[in-house]
Structures are given as C-alpha cells and as structure tokens.
Amino acid sequence: MKVAIVFGGVSFEHEISIVSSIAMKDVLKEELIYLFLDASRDMYHIPTDIIKSKLFSSGDYKKFEKVYFQKGGFYKKGGLFAKEKSIDFDVVLNLSHGGDGEDGILSSVLDFYSIPFIAPRTEACVISSNKFLTKGYASSVEVNTLDYKYFTKGDEVVVETFPVILKPVKLGSSIGVSIVKSQEELEYALDVAYEFDDAIIIEPFISGVKEYNLAGTKVNGEFKFSIIEEPQKTEFLDFDKKYLDFSRTSKAKEVDLGEKLNNEIKESFKRLYNNLFEGSIIRCDFFVVNDKVYLNEINSIPGSMANYLFEDFSTLFKEVANNLPRKKHIPINYEYVNKIQASKGK
C-alpha cells in the first residue's frame, strides 16, 4: 500500500505536523509519499529518504516539485514539453494538525476531489476542533463534560471561583491554555488566549484530577480500541510536554481502572465516535472525578496517530484504509429542468 501523507498547512500547529509526519517513517511499514503544505498553502513533494525537519525551517523544501490537487489524486507539472505526472498512491493520511487539517478545510478539499483519505470528514472536524461545539455534541450523545462558560473577545469575563482553566476554543496541544488562580492572573491569561483565538471557554480547574486517554476507530461496524493510558503529568500537560508526544513511537503503559470505569470510558468513546468519525483514528481524553467519567477533548488527528497506544498499529491502519466510508451517490439527471422546459413547449 502507498500512503500519501499530507502535512503542514496554515495552523499554529504547523511545526507539530512536521514532527508528527516524520515520525510515521518509524511507524508505518507502507511506502510513504510526503506532500507538504507550506504557509502559503503551496504543496510540495518531499522525497521520503531525505525528509528532515531542517528542510522546512530553512525553506529548502521549495527545491522540490510542486504538487496540485486533481480529481482522484494529485499531479506534478512536467517540463516545457512534458506531460503532467500523476502521483501514484492508494490512500491519503491527513496529518495536518490544528487549522486546515483538523478544522475541516483539508477534508472538504479531499472530499471535493474524490480523494480517499484517513481522517475525520468535514462535519466531525468542525465539531471536534471547536471546544464549545464539542461540549454540545458530547451532551447530545449523553457523554459528561465539565461545567464551562463561553466568552468571545470583547465580552466582560466574570469568574466567581478560582482556580479555573482558560482555553482558546479552536486550539489544540495546550496552546494558549492557562491555569488561572486569581483575578490578577485573569487579564494576562485572556491576553494570551486571545492572541490565538477570538473565543474562549473557562472550566473549573480540579487539582490532581486523573486523566486517561483512549484511541480507537470503527471498521465494518466493529470498534477497535487501544489500551487506556494515564499520561504522566504534573499540574497539566503543557505545550512542551505534548509537543514531545507528537514524535512518539515507543509503546505506552496500559492502566487498568477496573471493569466499571474501563467500560464507561469505552462506552463514552463509542457514543462520541458514533457514525460521525468513520474513516478516522481518533483519541479521546477523559477525566475521572469521583468515579464519574467526563470528556476532556476529542483529538481528531492525534499526534503520530496515537500509534503508541495500539499493539499492532500497522495492521489497524490497513484495516481502516481498506474500509473507508463511501459518499452517497446523488444522481443529477435534470428531470426538474426538463419538466419546466416541456411545460413551456421548449
């Protein structure tokens, strides 16, 4: 199988996407084709055998061939008298973290050009990339979330009880997130968050809360779960700690929470994944407070695809690639227009 990895894009997590994509060389056994989207959304074919992070920071990636979308795939322009060349691949892995990749833009483009891809479809991206919408979605499928308040830039922000955790609505990887312990810290935290987004949510900060990660997918109606992991953290996972996880390939340690909580976490995952996330491998992060499971966030394109949580990620990847959702065929036959013309005698 030939896998085209599309990464980069216009996002605050652009560099994370580069690190995550390079790490896949140590994860997937398939032939990899790297397609890099730069800050101008120009796409370049980066040779797999020489890809390294310095190519991008130095701008040397521009020495390689430009790539363009086309129906069913991608092509590279030939020389003055040469024909354009199509890129041979079987499936796309969308590894553009954050904006472009996780907000639905790339999924929409790939869908529009009928390109098979592993990643959430547009609707799932919109819901999971916006923490405010995630809360509403989780509630609708009966998954618990912590209480929260939603504010947009310019609103008066009132916090009655500290400490709280303040998050930009559309950012991942803990970018712009602050733990706020007093009124004096609130204004600074707001300034930081609004540098990245025009909307925020504020939740109560629960010191020492236990967090657990579960990744999974659904193949032919059957859920495939990873182990449940308890990430090692101090007060909370900041950007630097999460950044390191995006190049992670070593296996995580499984935690056993007992039959009740193990099942509750898996059932919550099932309700969240539903049919909405078909065609993707996602990771959900949960809190456990007083033996009750709460959703923290949905990682629709987790770092390094959360490969380290699965016993046999390569086989799972192939199963997903071979069972992607199919778009419903919509016949266009101009029946209505023809009836109008016939009624007018034209």
Closest CA to 34 of 85, 90, 79, 93: 93
Residue 83 tokens read as 């024909």
Q: Is-contact 243 19, C-beta < 8 A?
A: yes
According to the model, what pLDDT value does residue 305 have? 95
Alpha helices in the chain (DSSP H): 14-23, 54-57, 105-112, 122-129, 131-140, 183-194, 239-245, 259-273, 313-321, 335-343
Using the CB atoms, write b or e for 171-195: b if 16+ within 10 Å. Answer: bbbbbbbbbbeeeebbeebbeebbe
Tell me which residue of 279, 251, 315 sits closest to 29, measured CA to CA: 315
Which residues of the chain are under the pLDDT cut of 70? 79-81, 172-173, 233-249, 345-346
Q: DSSP letter for 254, please.
A: B
Question: Cα dihedral sign for 50, 52, 58, 59?
Answer: positive
Instruction: Give 43's strand partners.
Output: 37, 67
In whole angstroms, what is the distance from residue 66 CA to residue 51 CA?
A: 16
Closest C-alpha to 229, from 250, 208, 207 = 250
Give the model confidence (pLDDT) of 6-25 as tens digits: 999 999 899 999 999 999 99
Q: What pLDDT, on the 0 to 100 scale, is given for residue 311?
A: 94
Residue 33 φ then ψ, to 5°? -120, 120
Identify whether the C-beta of residue 3 lies closer than 8 Å to the C-beta of residue 160: no
pLDDT of residue 207: 86
Question: What is the pLDDT, as a whole number, of residue 243?
Answer: 47
Q: What does the pLDDT read at residue 175?
A: 83
The whole-model pTM stands at 0.91
The reported pLDDT for the residue numbered 197 is: 93
CA–CA dist 90, 294 (Å, integer): 38
Question: CA-to-CA distance for 50 and 65, rounded, in angstroms?
Answer: 14
Question: How does pLDDT run across 196-212, given as a tens digit for each residue?
Answer: 999 999 999 998 899 99
Nearest one of 161, 190, 185, 296 to 233, comparing CA atoms: 296
Token pair, residue 153, equals 């830039």
Domains of the chain: 2-119 (3.40.50.20), 129-145+207-321 (3.30.470.20), 149-204 (3.30.1490.20)
**Nearest-angstrom CA–CA distance, 61 and 59:** 5
**Strand arrangement, sheet containing 117-118:** 85-86, 73-76, 66-70, 43-46, 31-37, 2-8, 91-94, 117-118
The token duo for 273 is 């994944």
